[in-house]
Chains A and B, each alone.
Chain A
Amino acid sequence: MSTFSPTRRSFLKDAIRRFSQNRLALLGLFLVGFILFLAIFADLLAPFAYDRVYFDRVLLMPMEHPEHFLGTDEVGRDYLSRLIYGARTSMTVSLSVQLVALIIGLPIGALAGYFGGVFDFVISRIIDIMTAFPALLFTILIISVLGGGMLTIIVALSITSWIVIARITRAQILTLREQEYCTAARGIGASEWRILFRHLLPNAMSPILIAVSFGIPTAIFAEAGLSFLGLGVNDPIASWGKMVGTSNAYVRVYWHLALLPTLAIALTMLGFSFLGDGLRDALDPKQKIRA
């Protein structure tokens, strides 16, 4: 074991090289880039507004009407536009949830892991209780209390997601603080805060980054799933999950209503998980199986 913090630069260079040699990871990056592009430029890309209703153009099949390339839904909204805006909903929810989870979970996990004591005890018990039942059920409970809507979903998902980040950060800091370069830093009189932020957190970042990259598809799934069940975003906001849910009643004839949003969900989740796999293999080449 080296008594110095492992250097970052060559490690990063290696990681980028490993990533760029991984074809699936690059495919993931491409898919994610495409979805983000749709989400950001939805207003420019979508031919219609997501809530524009044509009462005389209800349930059109794809190509049936020249203005509606992918048809219309059961109340006469352009399906292509709804799909594009769905990307925005999906990305907004999943990225904000992971951001909030990181902002809350990282410092709490780091402090609990580094200083221990009563704070660590309390945080550990909260983690125990929160992992005593499926996170999704807890999210549903919070939504049932707060009512649906985009903001509620973000809040509800953040409440369950910070736990994951806090747990991983805490475990990382716990193992790292026993390592020699940490003792060495303490030996030369570095302050506790400096050790935590300069020496420990940067070295704990790989697994945390990997957890975030797998947290995004989890959040995408949660938003789509909740909306699918009718517990998610409210009308008229477009959500892929909700589109799948409502399509269930029409699927016998209007198959496109079910097929298109499911493809969107599947491609997005595949993209993020390929990206996550690639990141993990690049940052942590030793660990092969996703636990």
Chain B
Amino acid sequence: MLGYIFGRILALMMILLAVSVIVFALMHSVPGGPFDERKGRLPPAAKANILKKYGLDQPVWKQYINYMSHAVRFDFGIPYQRPHTTVAKLISKSWAITVQVGLTTIVVAFGFGILAGIYAAYHQNSWVDTLVTFVSSLGVTVPNFVVAMWLILIFAVSLNWLPMGGWGSSGQCLIDKYFCTDWILPVIAYAIAPMAIVARYTRASIVEVMGEDYVRTARAKGLSEVKVMRKHVFRNAQIPMVTALGTEIPNLITGSIFIESTFRINGLGKYFVTSTLNRDYPMIMATFLLVAFLWGILYLLTDIAYTMIDPRVRLGAKSLS
């Protein structure tokens, strides 16, 4: 088990290395950098000076090695756009907000998704079941920024109940001592797709497990219906639900870009977009490494979660796919 995890982390490191090479190569493959004439119109001497300051006058491979030797010490350089701070500082500041939004969303999505799925599984073909199916196919299909716009049109513009955007002026909305309503619309818009998928998975897996022989065995033992559900059905239904968790949480990473942009939240996603627009290489590079790292860790955690729920799964055993 430990050996397996170690191997996976090593593989993750290799992938991070490959990602860094690809991203770095791509960014330097075309002429024109952040300080080209289009934007700043700098005198040639000043430009050469700046290029030197950022090390952009050296050959690409040297720049890469230079960058990586700093990156392993969590020094990701200085953002071109904000020379007075560091990439690490900027990321950790905006990251805190993104994590707040993300965690609230996960709680809402999985909480309501699981409840709706269980309800639908129990009342198959009832109108609630139909509603869950309908909302979930809508939620899976329609992009979150579209849902976000609809929510804004209804609750902010038309009814004027909730603010159109922002995540607390302090950026500390949820842990602020005042309860605020900023988070409601972004979280709902953000949560709807994963909630729909979780509800679908939950419903399907509970319906499937309820038909298993061992559930009949449990009933034949005279267990109460509550115990049959809690001990035999839910334990087994969790297995496909972890799959949903494993695939949906990484998807939230890209989702946050749109949500932050729609609701004007100053999180990591928004900085990613502005740094892309400005070709802010150090920011892009660091964000990419961070996302690839998170993505890999989340998949590893999902696999570990499987072994905790299902004793048949042994990590490191050769899978069929």
Enumerate chain B residues within 8 angstroms of A221, measured Cβ to Cβ.
143
Q: A118 vs B164: C-alpha distance in the bound complex, in angstroms?
A: 54
Enumerate chain B residues within 8 angstroms of A144, measured Cβ to Cβ.
27, 276-277, 279, 284
Enumerate chain A residues within 8 angstroms of B19, measured Cβ to Cβ.
129, 132-133
Enumerate chain B residues within 8 angstroms of A14, measured Cβ to Cβ.
none
Q: Please state if B141 and A273 are interface contacts (CB–CB under 8 Å).
A: yes
Is B288 on the interface with A (CB-CB < 8 A)? yes
> What DSSP secondary structure best describes chain B's contact surface?
helix
Is A269 on the interface with B (CB-CB < 8 A)? yes
For chain A, the count of residues having a C-beta within 8 Å of the partner chain is 40
Q: Please state if B149 and A258 are interface contacts (CB–CB under 8 Å).
A: yes
From A84-92, A177-185, A228-236, give the one contacting chain B: A228-236
Q: A269 vs B143: C-alpha distance in the bound complex, in angstroms?
A: 9
Q: Please state if B292 and A133 are interface contacts (CB–CB under 8 Å).
A: yes
Residue pairs across A and B with CB atoms within 8 Å: the count is 116
Q: Please state if A142 and B143 are interface contacts (CB–CB under 8 Å).
A: no
Q: A221 vs B137: C-alpha distance in the bound complex, in angstroms?
A: 15
Is A225 on the interface with B (CB-CB < 8 A)? yes
> Most chain-B CB neighbours within 10 Å: which of A128, A228, A288?
A228
Is A108 on the interface with B (CB-CB < 8 A)? no
Q: Please state if B15 and A128 are interface contacts (CB–CB under 8 Å).
A: yes
From B116-124, B166-174, B225-233, B246-254, give the one contacting chain A: B246-254
Is B30 on the interface with A (CB-CB < 8 A)? yes
Which chain A residue lies CB-closest to B275? A144
User: A232-271, CB under 8 A of B: which get 1 and which 0?
Assistant: 0000000000001101100110010011001001100110
A129-167 residues with Cβ-Cβ distance < 8 A to B are 129, 132-134, 136-137, 140-146
Q: A273 vs B193: C-alpha distance in the bound complex, in angstroms?
A: 14
Is A224 on the interface with B (CB-CB < 8 A)? yes
> What DSSP secondary structure best describes chain A's contact surface?
helix
Enumerate chain A residues within 8 angstroms of B46, measured Cβ to Cβ.
none
Q: Apart from A133-B291, A229-B257, what are 20 other A-B pairs with CB-CB below 8 Å?
A: A129-B19, A133-B295, A134-B254, A141-B23, A141-B276, A141-B288, A145-B27, A145-B29, A171-B321, A225-B145, A225-B258, A229-B273, A230-B273, A252-B164, A255-B157, A258-B149, A258-B153, A259-B150, A270-B141, A288-B204
Residues of B within 8 A of A (CB): 15-16, 18-19, 22-23, 26-27, 29-30, 137-138, 140-143, 145-146, 149-150, 152-153, 157-158, 164, 200-201, 204, 250-251, 253-254, 257-258, 261-262, 272-273, 276-277, 279, 284, 288, 291-292, 295-296, 321
